[in-house]
Amino acid sequence: MEVVSIGVALILVLGLVTMFIIQTVVRQDMNKSGEQLTDFAINYRAKDLEEIFDVSKNLVSIIASDKEIISFLRDEEAKKNRGDEMNEKLLNYNSGNNYSAIYLIGKDGRTRASTDRSFIDQDYSFRQYFKEAMRGENYADVNVGVTSKKMGYYFSSPIKIDNEVVGVAVIKMNPEIVFSFLKEECIAALSDLMVVDRFGIVVGANRDGLIFKSLGKISQDKEEILATEDKYPNVMIDSLSYQEILNELQYIGNEVRDFKTYDNLNKRFENIIVTKVGEYNFFLVAKIDDQKVAFETGLMFRKIGGVILVIMFFGSVLMLFLMSSRLNPLEQLLVMSRKISMGDFDYKNPVKQKNDLAELGETMETMAMTIKHRWDELEKMVEERTEKLNEQAKSMENTKLAVNNILDDVEGVASDLEKYKMAVDNSSDCVVITDLEGVVIYVNKAVERVTGFSTYEVIGKKAGSKVLWGGQMPKEFYEKLWKTIKSDKKVFEGELNNHSKNGRPYISRLTISPILSNSDEVLYFVGVERDITREKEVDRSKTDFIYLTSHQLRTPLSAMKWFCEMLLAGDAGELTKDQREFVENISQSNERMIDLINSLLNISRVESGRIIIDPTPTDLEKLVQDVLTELDKNIKEKKQEVLLSVSDSLPRVNVDPKLIREVYKNLLTNANKYTQEGGRISVIISVEGGEVVSQISDNGMGIPVADQSKIFERFFRAENIIKLETEGTGLGLYLAKAIVESSMGKIWFKSQEKVGTNFWFTLPLSGVKAHKGQVSINS
């Protein structure tokens, strides 16, 4: 509805503006155009008046040409008695009572017939209208009737017979017709509107007071004519102050003449407009009052304004009405657009009429659908983007975390590098980095500590040369070293004798690694050297300890062994039964002790890696037979059945027989010990793949499941065998395993309590690598 309000307001404003403009323009032009306007109006009034006169003029002409009237006048003598008849006839012409008299005058000037009977036989030959008609002209004049004493407008017309005027037809028009005509308000600005005759005497006016006043002073000759004509008998003619007009009157035609006269009475100028009424000898004189014009203009303006306002009002109403039929859909479309703008894209075209607004609505609907479609697409896209964004955010988060981690790492790396540098700098081992020619480019602190040469003294010199700490080894050693690291690009490991700056000899274990580029070119060498002099000493001490221990323990054990032997041999006299039993117990315990020492020594030897592995082609079958022979006494005691089965394809195997013998001995000893009397023991040696597999089986007491995982542990003895057999060191299987593994084989078992035990161990068919140790087993 805003549109309507604005529309109405606009109309009002425009209306008011128009009014204002009109007022301004009218006011400005009123004096000029007011005059023109009144001139125009007066002209029209004159024409109107002329028409009124014409009616009478025509009527009198018709009467004059009436054949009956003509014949009446021709035969006037003969038909005197027809006078009444004619009077009646003339009355017929006065249908509207506009004429006070219609009468016919004979050529002698006497009235022959008349609607007013008092006119009959009256002589009107002095009248100008008679004189003129008799001359054959129509004529109009104003006179005050000599008979009736009343003023009238006389219209005369000649009655002709064969161009001879035989009489005159006259009608006396009621002056009220003219008066009322003049009183009709044509121009409000007119204060006075008058009709004056050819003498300038007012014969009709819009107000009564003006009648029979003359425009100015009537000249002498004119007064005489007036008297002769007896035009206005018994009338006092006053003069108006329009002398100038009166003087000009005879020159005034049908054009409008304006006069400005000074009104002495009212002390102001007056505008007078004068024009001739057609061909008649009458003039229309109008006095225009300027103020009245202005007032009337204002009035007119107000009237115009009122009209405009009314038009505006109706216009507004009309507009409202018209627009409402447009606005309702507009309103609906507005609602629609609002709805759409608020996201209701399914809003349908509300305009039901079939017009351009409906089209607009449809377009909007289509648009909304398009928007919705796009919106949906957009939403989908946004959803996808959001999802992606979330993923990205997540990945960003991850990245952030990663970056943080990396930053932490970088800090870590930095500190790690610092750590590594510190680690290398402060390593107890000497670290020496050299270029391709072995010229030192870096040494750590340990170098100075070990060699006595300061970093300053070392950098730029050839590592391990005689001027530094090296050069103590044979030429071949260094040749091999350089070949390994430079040509073969491999790590060199070795022990070498060095000497410090102050001449102290020491032993080094040296590792030199070539550092290679991506293209496998040697960039530089990193040497790590450890002073193992003390290690070597400790090693020797350990060896000494074993010697010492074995010697020191074996010496008293040997003494006990041999004294018992002598006692039992009767070297100190025959022993009683009890004495013999006791000495035998001592001897047995002594033997166990010797076994234990031997086992410990063997384990020590194997574990330390100091044991000599001296492989020789060995007949394993014979080896086992020897062990069985050694155990024969024990086996026979328990009446056990022994089976030895050796694969025909078994060759001699390159192993250390002393060590492998120990394995068979341990396994067979256990089989013998922990298998009941009459039990069965079997040894099967086969070749499988690249391995020699030895299987030692019994149907003895087996190993409890709970103990199976521990049987290779040092000093471990299973629950069931401890109860049965108090002897045993718990070192046999441990030693066997140590020997097998040092010979590059494997050992395992399967056992079920009270059913039996199977042990397997393997040896490489290709044989065992020699090991240059210091001690041999059982030595």
Q: How far is the CB of 558 from other proteins (least distance, A)?
A: 4
Which amino acid is it at 642? Answer: V
Q: What angle do CA 480, 483, 486 make, to 5 degrees?
A: 140
Instruction: Give the length of the chain.
Output: 779
From 20-28, 127-135, 421-429, 770-778, give the range in contact with other proteins by CB under 8 A. 770-778
126 binds other proteins (CB under 8 A): no
Q: How far is the CB of 747 from other proteins (least distance, A)?
A: 25
Q: How far is the CB of 580 from other proteins (least distance, A)?
A: 16
For residues 406 and 566, which CB has a smaller minimum distance to other proteins in the complex?
566
Residues 233-252 that bind other proteins (CB under 8 A): none
Among 598, 599, 604, 762, binds other proteins (CB under 8 A): 598
Which amino acid is it at 160? Answer: K
Partners of 239 in the beta sheet?
214
Q: How far is the CB of 550 from other proteins (least distance, A)?
A: 4
Q: Are 622 and 630 in contact (CB under 8 A)?
A: no
Binding residue count for other proteins, defined by CB under 8 A: 29
For residues 261 and 666, which CB has a smaller minimum distance to other proteins in the complex?
666
C-alpha–C-alpha distance, residues 754 and 427, integer Å? 58
Residues 96-125 that bind other proteins (CB under 8 A): none
For residues 434 and 602, which CB has a smaller minimum distance to other proteins in the complex?
602
Give the pair of three-digit tokens for residue 33.
């155009």
SS3 assignment, position 218:
coil
Query: Which of 218, 208, 271 has the alpha carbon at shortest distance from 243?
Result: 218
Q: How far is the CB of 739 from other proteins (least distance, A)?
A: 16
Q: How far is the CB of 590 from other proteins (least distance, A)?
A: 9
Query: Which of 420, 407, 444 has the alpha carbon at shortest distance from 527?
Result: 444
Residues 538-597 that bind other proteins (CB under 8 A): 543, 546-547, 550-551, 554-559, 561-563, 565-566, 569, 571, 594, 597
Query: Which of 694, 676, 639 has the alpha carbon at shortest distance from 756?
Result: 676
C-alpha–C-alpha distance, residues 485 and 523, integer Å? 11
Q: How far is the CB of 572 from other proteins (least distance, A)?
A: 9
For residues 420 and 545, which CB has a smaller minimum distance to other proteins in the complex?
545
For residues 5 and 778, which CB has a smaller minimum distance to other proteins in the complex?
778
Q: How far is the CB of 559 from other proteins (least distance, A)?
A: 5
389 binds other proteins (CB under 8 A): no
- Contacts (Cβ under 8 Å, ≥6 apart) of 370: none
| Angle at which helices 732-742 and 577-608 cross, to 10° | 30
For residues 113 and 601, which CB has a smaller minimum distance to other proteins in the complex?
601
Please compute Rg for the chain using Cα positions.
83
Cα 476 from chain centre: 81
Q: Please list the alpha-helical segments (H only) found in 648-717.
A: 657-673, 705-708
Q: How far is the CB of 742 from other proteins (least distance, A)?
A: 16
Among 147, 497, 654, 776, binds other proteins (CB under 8 A): 776
Q: How far is the CB of 624 from other proteins (least distance, A)?
A: 21
Q: How far is the CB of 546 from other proteins (least distance, A)?
A: 8
Q: How far is the CB of 600 from other proteins (least distance, A)?
A: 12
For residues 508 and 599, which CB has a smaller minimum distance to other proteins in the complex?
599
For residues 121 and 537, which CB has a smaller minimum distance to other proteins in the complex?
537
Binding track, positions 735-754, relative to other proteins; x by CB under 8 A: --------------------
Q: How far is the CB of 671 from other proteins (least distance, A)?
A: 23
For residues 723 and 772, which CB has a smaller minimum distance to other proteins in the complex?
772
For residues 223 and 565, which CB has a smaller minimum distance to other proteins in the complex?
565
Residues 65-84 that bind other proteins (CB under 8 A): none
Question: Scanning the structure block, which residue is given the tokens 């035969």?
Answer: 75
C-alpha–C-alpha distance, residues 77 and 68, integer Å? 15
Q: Are 729 and 745 in contact (CB under 8 A)?
A: no
For residues 275 and 550, which CB has a smaller minimum distance to other proteins in the complex?
550
SS3 assignment, position 31:
helix
Question: Scanning the structure block, which residue is given the tokens 């609907």?
Answer: 365
For residues 326 and 554, which CB has a smaller minimum distance to other proteins in the complex?
554
Question: Scanning the structure block, which residue is given the tokens 């006065």?
Answer: 94
Query: Which of 258, 281, 309 has the alpha carbon at shortest distance from 41?
Result: 258
Among 241, 324, 695, 774, binds other proteins (CB under 8 A): 774
Cβ neighbours of 195 (radius 10 Å) = 29
C-alpha–C-alpha distance, residues 206 and 182, integer Å? 5
601 binds other proteins (CB under 8 A): yes
Q: How far is the CB of 476 from other proteins (least distance, A)?
A: 24
Q: What angle do CA 408, 413, 419 make, to 5 degrees?
A: 125
Give the pair of three-digit tokens for residue 364.
């909007």
C-alpha–C-alpha distance, residues 407 and 398, integer Å? 13
List Cα–Cα distances, 722 to 183, 640, 668, 675, 727, in angstroms: 167, 21, 18, 14, 8
For residues 459 and 566, which CB has a smaller minimum distance to other proteins in the complex?
566
Q: How far is the CB of 665 from other proteins (least distance, A)?
A: 14
C-alpha–C-alpha distance, residues 740 and 731, integer Å? 14
C-alpha–C-alpha distance, residues 491 and 45, integer Å? 144
Give the pair of three-digit tokens for residue 419.
């750590």
For residues 339 and 561, which CB has a smaller minimum distance to other proteins in the complex?
561
For residues 259 and 563, which CB has a smaller minimum distance to other proteins in the complex?
563
What is the binding site for other proteins (CB under 8 A)? 543, 546-547, 550-551, 554-559, 561-563, 565-566, 569, 571, 594, 597-598, 601, 612, 614, 774-776, 778-779
